[in-house]
Chain A
Amino acid sequence: MNDKSSPRKFSRRKFVQGVSTTIIGSYVLTPGVSKISEKLEAETKEIASGKKPLNLIVNKVRYELMISPETTLAEVLRNELKLTGTKLICNHGECGGCTVLLNGEAIYSCQMLALDAGEKEVTTIEGLLTGEELHPIQKAFVEHDGLQCGYCTPGQIIAAQAILLKNSQPSKEEILTGMSGNLCRCAAYPNILKSVLAAAGYLTEGTNR
């Protein structure tokens, strides 16, 4: 509950350079051969409880987890990986609050079992920053006020990214169609449209340089 109003200074893991391996979840891998039996024992216990192993690559970081098979990708992101930028709003595939990229495609992470995302590249809102520098889409949302309360915003930005990955110069109509799966009750829609148009401009400028 610190101040939320100013750009927060924080240190982030330097994950961008390459894929590192982080192990979290209900068992811990400790280095050294002598611990392997302990690990196996823990793993056996997890499997006995119905849990399944999952290899997940999120924002270029590899995670090895043991999860219940019914867990959705959204639940893993929020509850296990503490990537709370992804929001659960309807948990019903209707609102787009949980939108993430899976191998570059926008998906509703509440509608995908986490096990189905195994070995695929997941990008969440947390993966867009470079250090403290905003991604051009994020910058555009700030400058064009493409948000109010901010709860749907991570999903909106990821949806925008999915559009722009496919089509660097989308028309207004294409943007509105692409964004229409993301509800915003504050209804910042006209500003979201301006933001995505501006982001397309920034990204094109970037590639032309």
Chain B
Amino acid sequence: MNDSFSIVGKKVFRQDAYAKVTGQAKFADDINFPGQLFAVMVRIASAHAKIKSIDYSEVINDSRLIKIIDHSNIPGNKLVGPIRNDQPIFCFDKVVTPGDVICMLIGENVDDLNKLKRKVKIDFEELPVLNDPLKSLEENSPLIHPEFENNLIIHYPLRKGNIEKGFADSDYIIEQTYRTAFVEHAYIEPEAVIAIPQETPNSVKIVGSIQNPFTCRKVVASVLNYPLANVRVIQAELGGSFGGKDDTMNILSARAAIGAMITGRPVKIKYTREESILESYKRHPYILNYKVGAKADGKITAMKIDIIADGGAYSSMSPFVTWRSVVQATGPYEIENVQTDVRAVYTNNPYTGAMRGFGSPQPIFAVESIMDELAIKLNITPDEIRRRNCFTSGSFTASGQKLEKHDVNLIKVLDTAVQKSGFKEKWIKYHSLQEFKSLEHKNLSFNDADSLILKEQDYLNNQNYLRKGIGLAVSYRGCSLGAEGIDAAAAYLSLQNDGSLFLLCGLSENGQGLRTTLSIVAAEVLGLTLDKIIYLDQDTSLIPDSGPTVASRATLMGGGAVKNAAVEIRNRLEKLLVDEWNLAGDAVFTFANDKVKYFGGGAKEISFNELCALAYKKGISLSAMGWYKGPDVHWNEETGQGSAYFTYVYGCQVAEVTLNMATGEVFIDNLIAVHNPGRVINLLGAEGQVYGGVTQGAGYALWEEINSEKGFIKELNFDQYLIPTAKDVGKIKPYFIEGRDIYGPWGAKSLGEPTLELTAAAIANAVRNAAGKRFFNLPLNLEEIFLGKKLKAESLNRGSA
């Protein structure tokens, strides 16, 4: 295989588009089974309480109720979690956040069950509520999980060089603190799952909106105390996930499975949007303190980073999320002396876990902001400060890993973005307009409420108040799981004797376009046209455990597995042709457009379906299981040193904004996104990833925030939780810089998360450029820009309720 492709890198239509545009695609809530029951959850209105008693007497004899399920019905593990088992399927002693579920009612009608659930009497005693992660760490703080000695979930230190010497050697030092908010995934499909008892005793089938069927299977099996093989998890069409349909769905699946096994009937759980936002985990809010020392020429000598992540009520993925933070916290800069400490702590807030970006958007916002501050202090442009410090081939990361065996093309990525956007000239021009230094020009006193009332011309004739700004951010990202755990994936290809193919992979289609990407990989190797390929749904009973579909690893790992399987089959077919056509063993064939050709002495050609028929007749196996395993990586927990990830990708985004100085409103006019995903497999899909990541990143930058008011969430639906609409973001322009890599199919690596992680940082820098003033707290909504602080909710009343 060389770099001339017949289909890789082209614009290919989505394999599942027909089913999706016709409304025929079956998502979990579109699927029903005969005899199916429903379950509804029972909660109490408390963020931290001791459960004293539960009284079912008013519901137990109601004809509308079929069964009540609580912790006493759990045959196996009552506590689950991906790393630390601290989250109950049903609470039994305590409630630690308002999303917690105490029991569930099963019956035939959801409306009836919702009426009945109010009659379950739960007596509880309120406990002190911890909302501030800094307070959680204080010595005599109440323990959220008394089985652990303190509220610290994890602490990752990283030590490189000599931090004191680094600061002593510097000419300038900047120290700043940044904060980010809780962010909801807001996958457009709310959670739904059905558990169906199987004919074989002690076995259950789960069909649901599940991001990671193998993780789900593990949780369900441990809760039911069944062998893994007795739990079959099938992913329904998934209506978006972004890291969100993992823990929550595994727990919902376990609840449904207990219900199904006890009633002997299929049990469906489906959440409303309010329940979804109430119970599901969020992206971690971080408090990030950065201290940076640099020489007068801009070279950074030391970086000291202190990060506190609010893990909320359960540990969930916090240990892995914060691990990525500790690896990447310095940004893509080679710094001799680094000291990083990242801590995740328990609070009674909604729990936090995996979300697209996974511990990278927060530190990137902080480090890229402070890099701009450093540039301004040194009187150089933001691109220049980065050029003087950023990784090149052979650079050493903060964890002491040498960047090698792949194209470290960050400077090329940066230069492309700077050139395409005309960054330098625009930045200098906007930065020089100092007369509009801040909103203070209006002489507003924020203590005087009247002065905040805008006059008519402030918004009608707002040209006077519109300011332009441009900002950039760069990032690097470790591909796949890294030292988090085992990293391997499987794919099964089965050619039929007419040349059609089915493909099954252990990783999931979550809407990101994996079906299409993996089909392209198989089609490229075998020379098939895509209409010959049928992609089968992920099913834990049909394919080996391939780990979760996370960490932007599916193209890299799944693609690698598909390619391995396809190459194995192709090798068998080539050997057959060598024998049939009496060729030399090293004969070279081309497989393309459903034909196989040999151009050596005396050209020969056979159609692919004839070749498959021939192989079948000769008893040659036309199917293969491909396995792709990432190389080993290492990490030292004490020093934070090691080869964290086996390869990396690089990106740069430039945002151009208009800031309304009278209202604090920011509009993103243009966003240029330059990424090096290694190799683009489907150009159409890759562009879609950029649009999605950038827009979600814009939401993170400007609007999205879950407020936890004593643990209770105010924004329970899209009337309050604002996600971007079609009109909210201006023009997004993706560019791809390809780079060689020995891993993944033809060097294809990661794209999904890299597109999101740096957008907020680029926008924040553009706002800084426009306003002449730094804003430290995401989101940069009207309050933050106008008042420099967030007005917290005083009541939980719904705006539209």
Interface residues of A (CB under 8 A from B): 1, 3-8, 10, 83-92, 94-95, 97, 124-126, 128-129, 134, 138, 141-143, 145, 147-154, 157, 176-177, 179-193
**Can you identify 17 A-B contacts, CB atoms within 8 angstroms?**
A1-B234, A4-B26, A5-B534, A8-B24, A84-B27, A84-B29, A87-B27, A88-B29, A90-B273, A147-B20, A148-B511, A149-B240, A151-B189, A181-B725, A185-B188, A186-B240, A187-B724
Q: Which residues of A contact B515 (CB under 8 A)?
A: 5
- Given the contacts A4-B16, A187-B696, A142 and B273 also touching, CB distance less than 8 Å: no
Q: Kindly state the separation between the CA atoms of A182 and B726 in the bound complex, as whole angstroms.
A: 8
9 closest Cβ contacts across the A-B interface?
A85-B23, A149-B511, A150-B20, A151-B239, A187-B695, A125-B23, A84-B30, A5-B535, A94-B718
Q: Chain A residue with minimal CB distance to B17?
A: A142
- Given the contacts A3-B537, A90-B718, A149-B510, A84 and B16 also touching, CB distance less than 8 Å: no
B691 close to A187 (CB less than 8 A)? yes
Q: Which residues of A contact B687 (CB under 8 A)?
A: 145, 191
Q: Chain A residue with minimal CB distance to B536?
A: A3
- Given the contacts A142-B17, A149-B238, A186-B240, A124 and B23 also touching, CB distance less than 8 Å: yes
Q: Chain A residue with minimal CB distance to B15?
A: A5
Q: Which residues of B contact A138 (CB under 8 A)?
A: 21-22
- Given the contacts A147-B20, A149-B510, A92 and B535 also touching, CB distance less than 8 Å: no
Q: Kindly state the separation between the CA atoms of A120 and B104 in the bound complex, as whole angstroms.
A: 40
A148 close to B512 (CB less than 8 A)? yes
Specify which of A1, A124, A145, A157 lies most central, judged by the most chain B CB atoms within 10 Å of its CB.
Answer: A145
A8 close to B18 (CB less than 8 A)? yes
A193 close to B726 (CB less than 8 A)? yes
- Given the contacts A90-B717, A189-B726, A145 and B696 also touching, CB distance less than 8 Å: no
Q: Which residues of A contact B727 (CB under 8 A)?
A: 176-177, 180
A186 close to B688 (CB less than 8 A)? yes
A142 close to B21 (CB less than 8 A)? yes
A183 close to B723 (CB less than 8 A)? yes
Q: Which residues of A contact B719 (CB under 8 A)?
A: 90, 92, 94
Task: Mark each residue of chain B from 710 to 730: 1 if its CB lies under 8 Å from any CB of chain A, else 0.
Answer: 000000011100011111010
- Given the contacts A95-B718, A180-B726, A185-B242, A190 and B22 also touching, CB distance less than 8 Å: no
A185 close to B723 (CB less than 8 A)? yes
Number of interface residues of B (CB under 8 A): 69
Q: Which residues of B contact A190 (CB under 8 A)?
A: 691, 731-732
Q: Which of B27, B240, B535, B724 contacts A148 (CB 8 A)?
A: B240
A126 close to B23 (CB less than 8 A)? yes
B22 close to A85 (CB less than 8 A)? yes
Please give the distance in Å from B319's CB to the nearest CB on chain A. 27
Q: Chain A residue with minimal CB distance to B13?
A: A142
A1 close to B21 (CB less than 8 A)? no
Q: Chain B residue with minimal CB distance to A138?
A: B21
Judge whether B596 is part of the interface by a CB distance below 8 angstroms: no
Q: Kindly state the separation between the CA atoms of A189 and B692 in the bound complex, as whole angstroms.
A: 8
B239 close to A192 (CB less than 8 A)? no
Q: Which residues of A contact B26 (CB under 8 A)?
A: 1, 4, 84
8 A Cβ contacts from B515-539 to A:
515, 519, 531, 533-537
Q: Chain A residue with minimal CB distance to B716?
A: A92
B16 close to A150 (CB less than 8 A)? yes
Q: Kindly state the separation between the CA atoms of A193 and B25 in the bound complex, as whole angstroms.
A: 22
Please give the distance in Å from B257's CB to the nearest CB on chain A. 17
Q: Kindly state the separation between the CA atoms of A166 and B27 in the bound complex, as whole angstroms.
A: 31
Judge whether B272 is part of the interface by a CB distance below 8 angstroms: yes
A92 close to B684 (CB less than 8 A)? no
8 A Cβ contacts from B598-629 to A:
none
Judge whether B513 is part of the interface by a CB distance below 8 angstroms: yes
Q: Which residues of A contact B15 (CB under 8 A)?
A: 5-6
Q: Chain A residue with minimal CB distance to B12?
A: A145
Task: Mark each residue of chain B from 694 to 714: 1 if its CB lies under 8 Å from any CB of chain A, else 0.
Answer: 111000000000000000000
- Given the contacts A142-B17, A148-B692, A180 and B237 also touching, CB distance less than 8 Å: no
A3 close to B535 (CB less than 8 A)? yes
Q: Which residues of B contact A154 (CB under 8 A)?
A: 23
